[in-house]
Amino acid sequence: MLRNEGDRLTRVVVSTPRDAYFDVSTHAGANIPELADRERTIEQHDALKATMEGFGCQVIDLPELAGDPNSVFTRDVALATPNGHIKLRMGLEARRGEEAWMSEALAALGEPCVGEITAPGTVEGGDVILMGSVAFAGLTGRTNEDGIAQLSRMLSEVGYEIRVARLGSEWMHIGGPMSAVGPQRVLCCRGVFPDDFFKGFDTVEVDPRGPSTGNVICLAEDEVIANAAENAPVIAQLEREAVKVHGLDLSEFRKGAGGPSCLVLPVERV
């Protein structure tokens, strides 16, 4: 169960790319811009898993969903909440079907399904960041107004205030320009969000430099994993702000339009 993305990460679900991520016949519809190198991709994913395991986090590695190159990006298909998981509905049509795959796996792990986004609503997990009593949500090309309305009803029942930001087309998800770096601390891109969006939170502001500028995996308060291959200026700024950064080369997943947090579905934090 999970209430705050800034709490200590104790259990995640990932999916190591073996075959589907490299199937070029599926790439156009799946929005995979560039073919990744198989050996380097697996090495990078293994390093990510090892870093989380070394931190003391349990890593559940699901086999890829056959025929779905995006199934490596486990973050998007479900949302863990304090009472269980919400089964989401993908905005990218090519990803439909991943929701049932992940929901069944989570239920088998003892994470019950407590809600579901239904048509015409769409919500992708990269567009929702839970932080204590606030749920930050992105209105994007992947998450629509109907989906936000459904999600808001579900999350308000467990005590969340919903704050919604409409993002420009340069951002796939809200997780691109922002991430939790602690229970009350946010990494965010300057000029992207409304002035009062982060009221009550400490912010580390950075200049937007690319689609994953604000994308990190929070391990615990002031400790994160970042993509060293593209985010060196952000890593340097976080370190100046007393945040411990595990810099990993995750460049092969940038080829699939993903950042670090896209690769991890957090299901338990304490």
Q: How far is CA 177 from CA 25, 205, 261, in A?
A: 30, 10, 12
Can you say how many angstroms the Cα of residue 77 is from the centroid of all Cα atoms in its chain? 10
CATH number of domain containing 118: 3.75.10.10
For the chain, the domain total comes to 1
Task: Average the pLDDT over 75-80 and give the result.
Answer: 98
Q: Does residue 130 lie in a domain region?
A: yes
pTM for the full predicted model = 0.97
Q: Does residue 4 lie in a domain region?
A: no
Q: How far apart are CA 261 and CA 172, in angstroms?
A: 13
Q: Does residue 166 lie in a domain region?
A: yes
- Output the pLDDT for position 73: 98
Read off the pLDDT band of 165 (50, 70, 90): very high
Tens of pLDDT, residue by residue over 197-244, are 999 999 999 999 999 999 999 999 999 999 999 999 999 999 999 999
Q: Does residue 75 lie in a domain region?
A: yes
Q: How far apart are CA 253 and CA 263, in angstroms?
A: 9
Q: Residue 134: helix, strand or coil by DSSP? A: strand
Q: How far apart are CA 253 and CA 99, in angstroms?
A: 21
Closest CA to 133 of 175, 195, 184, 75: 184
**Domain range holding 114?**
9-269
Q: Does residue 3 lie in a domain region?
A: no
Q: Does residue 25 lie in a domain region?
A: yes
Q: Does residue 2 lie in a domain region?
A: no
- Output the pLDDT for position 142: 98
Q: Which secondary-structure segment (H or E) carries 239?
A: helix 232-240
Read off the pLDDT band of 177 (50, 70, 90): very high
Q: Does residue 34 lie in a domain region?
A: yes
For the chain, what is the radius of gyration of the CA atoms?
Answer: 17
